[in-house]
Amino acid sequence: MPKDDQKKIKLPRTAKGKKPQYFADPTVDKLLSMVLTLMGELSVTRDRLDTVERLIESNGLFKVDDIEHYEIPDDVNAVRTERRSAYIARVLKTVQDELDSLQQKGDGKNTELED
């Protein structure tokens, strides 16, 4: 069995190196990153919904109307809260990237290029 400390590993999420600025106002760079992430997440959600609809149809498990009147149990609520939090972090990753880069050692330049 893996050790406890291995279960808590968090891999780095921001690549070291200077990130180019593409627009005159760096805020536009961040907004674009967020829009593209939202595009991706909406696509993921649509795929998931499609999977659910297909499973409903093939298994006859419940009626689509049941979804409208679903009462959220506490444990489900907790899972959704955690997922929403991760979702928000993913869309706002571009903001976190800036912070991570400030905290990384070195300036991200390849100093051997001058040799």
Partner 1 sequence: MIPLSDHSMLAKRVHDEESRQSFVNDFRVHLASQVFPGNFPTYYNRVLPQFIKDKGREPETRHEVRRVMTHDPYYSFWSAMQRNSQEMIWDSVIDSVERQLPELIEKSRKPGNKGSLTLDPDLETPKYHVAADIHLQPGAYHSDQIDDDVAAGAMYDWGTYIYSMGGLGTGNNALGQITYGFFKNEFPDAKPKRILDMGCTIGGSITYWAQQMPDAECHGLDVGAPVLRYGHARAEALGAAVHFSQQNAEHTNFEDESFDIVMSHILLHETSRTAIQNVFNESYRLLKPGGVMMHMDLPQAHGQPPLEGFLFEWEIYNNNEHFFAQLRDMDMPELCRKAGFKDENILPKSAGSFWMEDQTPYADDGFEFPITMAIK
Q: Under the criterion CB under 8 A, does residue 26 sit at the interface with partner 1?
A: no
Q: State the Cα–Cα distance between residues 25 and 90, nearest whole angstrom.
A: 22
Q: Does 60 bind partner 1 (CB under 8 A)?
A: no
End-to-end CA distance of the chain: 48
Q: 88 vs 6, 14, 25, 50, 73, CA distance in Å?
A: 25, 16, 23, 23, 22
Size of the site for partner 1 (CB under 8 A): 43
Is residue 51 within the footprint of partner 1 (CB under 8 A)? Answer: yes
Q: Which residues in this chain contact partner 1 in the complex, by CB under 8 A?
A: 2-3, 5-7, 9-20, 22-23, 29, 32-33, 36-37, 39-41, 43-44, 47-48, 51, 90, 93, 97, 106, 108-113, 115
